[in-house]
Structure 1
Amino acid sequence: MAPPESTFVDTVEGISTLLSSVPRGPVPGPSIFIDLEGVNLCRDGSISILQLFISTIPHIYIIDIHTLGNLAFTTPSATDESVTLKSILEDPGVPVVFYDIRSDNDALYHHFNIQISNVVDLQLYELATRSGPGFRNNRRYLNGLSRAILENANLSLAEASRMDRVKQIGVGLFAPEKGGSYEVFNRRPLPAELLEYCVQDVQYLPVLLRFFSQRLERMDKRWMEMIRVETEARIALCRNAIFPKGRQNALAPVSFQRFVR
């Protein structure tokens, strides 16, 4: 699966142009997929990059939040002045897909007063549809994005190898335990290796959505209600006095662990 075309956006003109590409009418399912990169990504840190994948085009926009700041969210579309990135994220009629909304949402809410209202959290989809021997015990911990892709996106050996290479190079640049620093996401121009890493983090999200959605259609309908409730609980974390961090965030919701299909 070749990566979609991508564009690095660091001007208000670029924001205005890309917003004109966002579908505004009825579309067959979610078409906006988002990920964020930053330094200590939550209310206590900062957002450096927002990856926006519009799957109907398809095109990935790497938006430079470090440079543009609030202008990234308040600049209007070239074709409709009422449309901004903020208005899209807050539109209850526009589903926006993330893989683990928690830190991203906390950062967006506290730094840019964005209140996302319609979230599809693929981490919860992956957890709900996970199967295999001892599936109840298998739902004790959440899976990260890379593992979800490798186990569910039906990659070829070449694609899996490339994905691992891109990930390892990127992690080596920003992970402190690997000798890197998250501040590298604020370096301009952004290193080509990190651009590739940012693209990869969103390019497989539509594939995961299709795969998990097909599985959920065949499952007990109570799973979708549990996903909805837990997604709302995750969004509400941004209004707590303290944002939870650490190993506790790797634990699956208790309701998911206990539910028997």
Structure 2
Amino acid sequence: MLLAQLAADDGSPTVLIDIYRLQQSAFEEGGLRALLESTATRKLIFDGRADADALFHLHQTRLTNVCDCQVLCARHLDAAAAAAPSGSTTDGVATGSVPSSCVPSSRPLSQGRLPGLGKALEACPSLLAGKHGQSLAQLKKLAHALFVPELGGRYEVWKTRPLAPALMEYAAADVAHLHAMVAAWGDVVRADEMRQITSRRLHEAISGAKAAKGPHMAQRDF
């Protein structure tokens, strides 16, 4: 883990915490462990399984009171598929949410692969069009050119200080839009069910036989 990103829901700028430089002091003197383990403060994540694994094993920190926006997005897409007319497809951009009561939680419709952050950003009504969508696409293109090997980039750039502005913006974008997803889809999963799903997923990432990375992480697990 090289960075931790924090974004409040009051419109204030996203905060990037340099774990690579600060190491344990970020969690101890900086108070990051107390925040992440707080039962009073809800944390929004998007598939935080790998992060939870790293936090626990490298920094003795257990993510607590978590809402996973990947779960919200998957259930939203389930509901959209259930509501779509016969023969139509919901592979495109979604424009709204459907109450979770339309889809029995024990029988998810979108079996198979989990939606990634890119899919969620496309599906979120408040982000899918206009300047938001254009700026996100441009930012992704710029950042990927720096760190994706197939595009001529190097993963090591994440350890370079000062961090490239495009990478800082890219990291901030990871969390800046999670509040919009909760606003759009927050009613598709009951709070108690979300706690159960996220607790199990994070526990399995930390204690499971398989590493919390790799192709198997894209498979639906709830």
Question: Which of residues 197, 217, 221 is equivalent to 1:249?
Answer: 217
1:125 aligns with 2:61: no
User: Which residue of structure 1 lines up, in the alignment, with residue 139 of structure 2?
Assistant: 166
* AA in 1 matched with 2:59: F
> What secondary structure is seen at the aligned counterpart in 2 of 1:120?
strand
CA distances 1:50-88 after superposition (whole Å, capped 9, x unpaired): 111122362311111111111111115xxxxxxx11111
Following TM superposition, by how much is the alpha carbon of 1:215 offset from its aligned partner in structure 2, in angstroms?
4.2
Moved more, 175-184 or 114-123: 175-184
The answer to whether the 8 A contact 2:4-2:16 is kept is yes
Measured in 2, the distance between the counterparts of 1:252 and 1:242 equals 15
* AA in 2 matched with 1:116: L
User: Which residue of structure 2 lines up, in the alignment, with residue 95 of structure 1?
Assistant: 42
Measured in 1, the distance between the counterparts of 2:177 and 2:64 equals 23
1:40-189 to 2 correspondence within 5 Å? 47-56=1-10, 58-76=12-30, 84-130=31-77, 131-132=80-81, 133=84, 137-155=109-127, 156-189=129-162
* AA in 2 matched with 1:89: L
TM-score, normalising length from structure 2? 0.80
Moved more, 65-74 or 138-147: 138-147
> What secondary structure is seen at the aligned counterpart in 2 of 1:173?
helix
> What secondary structure is seen at the aligned counterpart in 1 of 2:14?
strand
Measured in 2, the distance between the counterparts of 1:48 and 1:64 equals 6
User: Which residue of structure 1 lines up, in the alignment, with residue 177 of structure 2?
Assistant: 204
Percent of counterpart pairs with the same letter?
Answer: 28
TM-score, normalising length from structure 1? 0.68
* AA in 2 matched with 1:111: L
User: Which residue of structure 2 lines up, in the alignment, with residue 235 of structure 1?
Assistant: 202
> What secondary structure is seen at the aligned counterpart in 2 of 1:164?
helix
CA distances 1:83-141 after superposition (whole Å, capped 9, x unpaired): x1111111122211100010111111111000112111110111112112478553422
The answer to whether the 8 A contact 2:50-2:213 is kept is no
Following TM superposition, by how much is the alpha carbon of 1:161 offset from its aligned partner in structure 2, in angstroms?
1.4
- For structure 1, the 5+ residue unaligned runs are 1-46, 77-83, 257-261
* AA in 1 matched with 2:219: L
Measured in 1, the distance between the counterparts of 2:11 and 2:119 equals 27
The answer to whether the 8 A contact 1:48-1:65 is kept is yes
Measured in 2, the distance between the counterparts of 1:226 and 1:52 equals 24
> What secondary structure is seen at the aligned counterpart in 2 of 1:138?
coil
